[in-house]
Every structure is written in C-alpha cells, then in structure tokens.
Structure 1
Amino acid sequence: MYPADAGRDGVDHPVLVRGPGAGSEPAEYEDMLRQWASHGFVVYSEVSSSSGDYMVDALDWLEDRNTAPSSPLHSHLDLSEVAFGGHSRGSIGTFDVADEQRLETTVHVAGGSFDGNGPDSLRNPALYIGGDEDFATSNMERDYTHTDVPVWFNVLDGTDHILATRNGQHIITSWLRWHLADEEFRRTQDFLSPDCAFCDLGDVTYKNW
C-alpha cells in the first residue's frame, strides 16, 4: 500500500516491509496497513515465514519499482529510510534478516526468538511490543536481555497475542515517524522520558540509548 498522493510536492516516502503472524494474511491487518500508508509510508506485506528472505526480496522489488518509469512509485521512495517488522512469526522472520544493511530500524510484535539468539542480528534501534496476557512475552523478555542495540519495550496491559499489533498500532506509527520520518521530538515526547506518551499503556523498559 502507498499514499494516494505518492510523490506529491516532491516527497519521497519511507518504506515498511511487514510480515503477519502464522496462519494469517496481510488482509487481516488491512486497516492498520492503510493507517501507516496514510502517514506517508509505503507498506509492503505478504504471508510471512520464519526466514526473512521474503522481506529482502520485497525491498529489492521496491527498489526496482522506484526505478521503473511505468511504476506509480517511480522516483517516489526514500530507500535510505527502511524498516522491517512483523507480528509473531513475522517478528521472528525480521530477526532473521535484521542485519540487512539498508535498514534503519526493526519492529517486533508478540514474537520473541525461540532460542534467545534473535537479537544477535540486530544492527539498528529496535521496537519490542508484547502483551501481559501473551504467551510469547517471556521469549521477548529474554530477547530484550540479550539486546545490545538501542531498544524500547512495552508489555501492554490487557493484551493477548492476537491483539498485540492492534493495541500497539499507534506506538508503531510514532516509532516509524521518529526513525523513518526523522521526527526527533518523538524521542522524548513518546518514548524516552519517564512521562512518555505511551508509558501508561503497560510496563515500559528501554536501554542502550
């Protein structure tokens, strides 16, 4: 998905490549994908796998679209501002390719690595979102312990595995606007302060900033 007025006034659009949870399809997240597109991001999503190779392939395809004169995205992508992310299995796939050199950030929702080694591939700031009723949160907590890059983690109140993306939707939007749209005021307003905008939604921890 991409903004209806892509390229208007010479704007180049950052990119989010996102994987859904196991057994689900992008259509089940459509309203959220459209919401991120409305903020000026080009959003690509397909059925996920634990390998993130499809994310790299998607970014390669978007690079081709950016250079194809027949594409509605021709010369309208900012390929220096790219995020990979996903929910559950989509998060695990994101860990798999988090060392992709074109990335600025990664987003991990309700999807900790199975062996605790997922964070080893991280090279850029990471957003972790879990739920206090989510079976995957314990793995995410272990990943957080092993994370050496700047990371912000919110375990959302009243949130199970399925609802984690929806309940964290606006956190993700703000994170993308900070890291991909360079809205630096969000650093303290929304994330890195004791009274941050999202700190009352759950148990917040962060480190390495």
Structure 2
Amino acid sequence: MQTRELEFNRGGDRALPTKVWLPAGSGPFPLIYFSHGLTSQPDDYAELLSAWATAGFVVAGPRYPNTWYEAPQFNADDVVNQPADAQFVITELLTALAGTVDPQRIAAAGHSAGAITTVGLFSGSRDERLKAGLLIAGRQMPQPAPFTGPAAPLLFVQGKLDETVTYEQAYGAYNEVTWPKGFLELPQGTHLPHRDQPAVVAETTTDFWRWTLTGDEAAKDRLPQDAAKGGVAGLSSTF
C-alpha cells in the first residue's frame, strides 16, 4: 500500500486537498470516498482507511475547507456544502486516477459530520454513481430529505453511548432507509466506535465493501459473524 496527496479546488475558498490510500497491484480498483468529522482530517482515520486499502480498495479523503481542525474560518454549519464538495472530488478523482479506479464501483463513507455529508449524497444531493454507503455515527442532514435514487446498501455503525450523535438520531436515519441496510451497534461504544473496537469495525466494514463493491457473497454471509466477534457488537440488517 502507498499514499498520494492530490490538490483539488472547487473554486473560491473551497480548496480540497485529498489524501489517497492505494492498494498494491495494478487495478482498476473500487473507490471508497471518505468524509472526516468536525475538527478532524483524513489522517485521523488512517488505521481504518489503511485496512480498506490493504483489502484492495482505493480510499480517498479530502480535507474540507471549513470543518477540519485547523480551518481558518471554522464553521460547523458548512457541512451543508460538503455533499457538493464530495461530488466534485469524486469527479476529479476519476480523472486523476483513471485506470486505477473503476468508475462503476464507487462508494461513500464518513464519520460524524462526514457521515451526515454521506447521508446527503444518498438523499438531497444524491450521487447516483454511488453503489453503497457507510455511516459511522451518522444522522440526517440539518434539513432532512428522503433517501432517493437507485437502491444502494447502507451500513450504519453506532455506539450506544454516543452523546454527540445519539443512538436515537442514528437509528432514526436508519429507519428512513428503504434499501438493503444494516445497523452495527456497539453497546459500550462512544462517538468513536472505530477506535473503541477497531478490529470488529474494520473487519465488518471491509466485508461490507467486498460484498457491495466486488459481489463477494461469501463476505456478505460473514457479516453477522464479523460483528459478533468478541461479544462487543451486533448486527441487525435487511441484507
């Protein structure tokens, strides 16, 4: 695995420097687009994103201009503009990494405000290129819109003890999804379930990507067992 830094700009003050984790081999590989949370940046999720890349996925995460931890003009409300940033960066990645990524196999993931951004990509700012989505501590956008467009499997990962995005908010968003969906619940998990139980979250989400982006039915069948390892989490789903 190796990494690259790419520079994108959507215009004005919306610079979107993007870190890319690249798997070994020649590809083309599926692309997972990742959105960070408030006061964060892509490298804060390096352990999880590296696990996905090692499993054979290109993973790309931008640093959003007004919500990362050193933003000159930090503004949490700017999350409403991030779905458009995401669509722009995905388009740019398909050009910058032509031949390395497969444009027919794209998914989106995110944590906290990044998961809210991801929800936007499947609702009010629907990007129909996306085949699947992962929401870690996610809820609806500030002005909710219905999930829309072609059905895409969605997996929610939620700590029961999360006080930032509550269990009720996450489950409320989950209930609005009419597509194949799963809810990975960590009873002792906080707002950072991927750090509370990194092995379980990495293994379950990686098999989710293997199923949704490569058609691996054996990976789909492993999901309940992945989630149950160690007795720290459980999966409910309509997969």
TM bucket, shorter chain: 0.7 to 0.9
The alignment of Structure 1 onto Structure 2 pairs a total of residues equal to 193
Q: Distance in 1 between matches of 2:172 and 2:112?
A: 15
The one of 67, 91, 96 equivalent to 2:115 is 91
1:46 aligns with 2:46: no
Q: Distance in 2 between matches of 1:169 and 1:150?
A: 20
Give 1:136-147 correspondences, 5 Å limit. 136=165, 137-147=167-177
Return closer, same or farther for 1:155/1:47 CA change in 2, 3 Å cut-off: same
**1:6–1:76 contact (8 Å) kept in structure 2:** no
Q: Which amino acid is the alignment partner of residue 178 of structure 1? A: W
Please, which runs of 5 or more residues in structure 1 have no aligned partner?
68-74
Q: Distance in 1 between matches of 2:88 and 2:25?
A: 22
1:124 aligns with 2:143: no
Q: Give % identity.
A: 22
Where in structure 1 do 4 or more consecutive aligned residues deviate above 6 Å? none
TM-superposition CA deviations, 1:139-169 (whole Å, max 9, x none): 01111222111100011132100x2123322
CA RMSD between the two structures: 2.1
Q: Distance in 2 between matches of 1:66 and 1:173?
A: 22
Farther-moved stretch of structure 1 (116-125 vs 144-153): 116-125
Partner of 1:29: 45
What is the CA distance between 1:118 and its match in structure 2?
A: 5.3
What is the CA distance between 1:5 and its match in structure 2?
A: 3.0
Partner of 1:158: 188
1:179 aligns with 2:209: no
Could you state the TM-score of these two structures normalised by the residue count of structure 2? 0.73
The one of 197, 200, 203 equivalent to 2:226 is 197
Give 1:52-131 correspondences, 5 Å limit. 52-67=83-98, 75-98=99-122, 99-113=126-140, 117=144, 120-121=147-148, 123-131=151-159
1:169 aligns with 2:199: no
Q: Which amino acid is the alignment partner of residue 189 of structure 1? A: R
Return closer, same or farther for 1:31/1:197 CA change in 2, 3 Å cut-off: closer
